[in-house]
Chain A
Amino acid sequence: MLCDTCQDALEARLDGELPPEEAREIDRHLAACPACARQFATLGETRRLVSENAMRYTAPDVLKARVRSAVARIGSPPVAAGTGNRFRWWREVAAGLAIAIASSGITFAAANRSAARNSAADELLASHVRSLMPGHLTDVPSTEHHTIKPWFNGRVDLSPAVPNLDKAGFPLVGGRADYVLGRVVPVVVYGRRQHMINVYAWPSSAAGGAPPNDLSRNGYHFITWRSGGIEYWAVSDLNAPELHAFVAMFTAAR
């Protein structure tokens, strides 16, 4: 066999794409020809290095939720997807998560919860998950409550409490304006180890205060309370006792 013929077939030999008899022919030539053998070794080493080291990515859960919900809604009229319409797609996330919850057979005590609280929790869960996507957590990243509180002026129509809980192990991460339940609301973000806590606030329909009340869904915990005419919701995947501790310190620090 000529070296030219052999070299043309090296890739296919390496990739296992040659019929057995041709492969044997190439192997015989390689055993006898150091130049071709060296070229084959270079190819093989390149292939090994690349296939062993190239990144394999995992689709983020939020993407899977988006896709599954979009697929599940296929009965409805087709809509253009992927146009960057954030409003639409976090609704899809909500739908996807709702489906995930329903299909995983988790039953929660919906009967004794008000419908309003459930719909708030649905939207907040979607918003919380969305906020964890890269680049969505904060509009104003800051560990200073003196920076975050004024940032909300003119962006939202109320001034939420932004206590400094650094010493208690809940450092401020930042703030953002988000859109839930048909309005723009301030969100203050705290951290706890690798967990994020989103604290949402909006004007309460009821006057006065109300003690913390909690529910959990799909591994996320929600605690809501009322203070100074503002309804607060803390949402996190942090464990329930620590989230309660957080809320206790948040309310005490006012």
Chain B
Amino acid sequence: MSEGDLQRFERVVLPHLDDAYTLARYLLRDEHDAQDVVQEASLRALRYFDGYSGGDARAWLLAIVRNCSLTWRKRRRVDDRTIPFEDAAALPTNEGDAADAAAVQESEQARVQQAIASLPDEFREVIVLREVQDLSYREIADVVGVPIGTVMSRLARARKRLAVLLQIDAREAS
């Protein structure tokens, strides 16, 4: 890799480390795993930087982070089963999460965080890519590697679940 490419990589890709880390946190639900995966994903991104065509660098990096997270989960045999909503509150927390939890306490944020954590993986990833990372359907389809129609149906089902979990009632909302 030439010096110019390296500088371009640092300028184009590295500014998105926060987003990469956020996605990994949601997908892996562990801050240490998330850090390791982001480092691995960054190196992989560098190795395949030739293949980056100049589109949205953030979506491109997030796709790599997502793939690395999946590999990581398989390798670590992380229990992929969904955490029931009632139990999500009792998740083992590490220090960082405890600090986060202290900040958000009993608030709306904690409820939303639990609701997202309780979603099955395939719903959680589209919700995070859409609502947290603000990607378009096309970008989500590319990151996840499924047709746009699948993105839409997963998003719809994920939101239905969230609406139930968060007890959103349209009669009040409207």
Residues on A lying within 8 angstroms of B by beta carbon are: 11-12, 15, 17, 37-39, 41-47, 49-51, 53-60, 63-64, 66-68, 70-72, 74-75, 78, 81-82, 84, 89, 134-135
How close is A58's CB to chain B, nearest CB, in angstroms?
Answer: 5
Give the complex CA separation of A42 and B136 in angstroms. 21
Partner of B1 from A44, A49, A67, A74 at Cβ < 8 Å: A74
Across the interface, which residues of A come within 8 angstroms of B17, CB to CB?
Answer: 59, 63-64, 67
Across the interface, which residues of A come within 8 angstroms of B40, CB to CB?
Answer: 81-82
Partner of A46 from B100, B128, B152, B159 at Cβ < 8 Å: B159
B94 interfacial contact with A, CB 8 Å = yes
How close is A41's CB to chain B, nearest CB, in angstroms?
Answer: 4
Q: Are B170 and A66 in contact (CB under 8 A)?
A: no
Using A42-B168, A134-B95 as known contacts, list a sample of 11 further A-B pairs with CB atoms less than 8 Å apart, ordered by residue number in A. Answer: A11-B155, A43-B163, A51-B134, A53-B112, A54-B128, A55-B113, A60-B35, A63-B17, A64-B14, A67-B17, A82-B36
Main secondary structure of the interface of B (DSSP, over half): helix
Partner of A50 from B38, B46, B116, B169 at Cβ < 8 Å: B116
Across the interface, which residues of B come within 8 angstroms of A38, CB to CB?
Answer: 170-171, 174
Give the complex CA separation of A72 and B3 in angstroms. 10
Give the complex CA separation of A28 and B168 in angstroms. 24
Across the interface, which residues of A come within 8 angstroms of B112, CB to CB?
Answer: 49-50, 53-54
B91 interfacial contact with A, CB 8 Å = no
Q: Are A57 and B22 in contact (CB under 8 A)?
A: yes
Give the complex CA separation of A12 and B94 in angstroms. 38
How close is A93's CB to chain B, nearest CB, in angstroms?
Answer: 11
Residues on B lying within 8 angstroms of A by beta carbon are: 1, 6, 9-10, 14, 17-18, 20-22, 25, 31-32, 34-40, 42-43, 46-47, 94-96, 100, 104, 107-109, 111-113, 115-116, 127-128, 130-132, 134, 136-137, 152, 155-156, 159, 162-163, 166, 168-171, 173-174
Q: Are A44 and B21 in contact (CB under 8 A)?
A: no
Give the complex CA separation of A22 and B107 in angstroms. 38
Give the complex CA separation of A134 and B100 in angstroms. 13
Give the complex CA separation of A53 and B112 in angstroms. 6
28 intermolecular pairs with C-beta atoms under 8 Å apart: A11-B152, A12-B137, A37-B174, A41-B173, A41-B174, A42-B168, A46-B159, A46-B168, A47-B131, A50-B112, A50-B131, A53-B112, A53-B113, A54-B109, A54-B131, A55-B100, A55-B104, A57-B22, A59-B17, A59-B18, A67-B17, A68-B10, A70-B43, A71-B10, A71-B14, A81-B39, A134-B32, A135-B95
Q: Are A71 and B132 in contact (CB under 8 A)?
A: no
Across the interface, which residues of A come within 8 angstroms of B108, CB to CB?
Answer: 49, 53
Q: Are B166 and A54 in contact (CB under 8 A)?
A: no
Please indicate which of the listed interface residues A46, A78, A84 has the most CB atoms of chain B within 10 Å of its own CB: A46
Q: Are A135 and B94 in contact (CB under 8 A)?
A: yes
Give the complex CA separation of A42 and B155 in angstroms. 14
How close is A153's CB to chain B, nearest CB, in angstroms?
Answer: 28
Give the complex CA separation of A133 and B131 in angstroms. 29
Across the interface, which residues of A come within 8 angstroms of B43, CB to CB?
Answer: 70-71, 81-82
- Which are the 3 A-B pairs with shortest beta-carbon distances? A82-B40, A42-B170, A59-B21
